[in-house]
Amino acid sequence: MITIIDYQIVNLRSIQKAFERLGQAVEVTDDPQRIRRADRVVLPGVGAFRAGMDHLTRLGLVPVIREVIDAGTPFLGICLGMQLLMSESEEFGRHEGLGVIPGRVVRFPSGDPVMAGLKVPHMGWNTVAIRRPVPALAGLPQQGYFYFVHSYYVVPDDPEVVAADTLYGVRFASVLAWRNVLACQFHPEKSQALGRALLAQFATGAPVETAPS
> Which residue numbers are catalytic?
79, 187, 189
Number of neighbouring beta carbons within 10 Å of residue 17: 12
In angstroms, rounded to a whole number, what is the distance separating the alpha carbons of residues 122 and 174? Answer: 12
Amino acid at 35: I
Distance of CA 83 to the CA centre of its chain: 7
Gap between the Cα atoms of 143 and 131, Å rounded: 10
> ∠ at Cα 18 (16, 22), nearest 5°?
115
Determine the Cα angle at 32 with ends 196 and 29, to 5°: 45
- Distance of alpha carbon 121 from alpha carbon 163, whole angstroms: 23
Return d(Cα 110, Cα 49) in angstroms, integer.
19
Handedness of CA 149, 152, 158, 159 (dihedral sign): positive
The sign of the dihedral angle between the CA atoms of 176, 94, 112, 118 is: positive
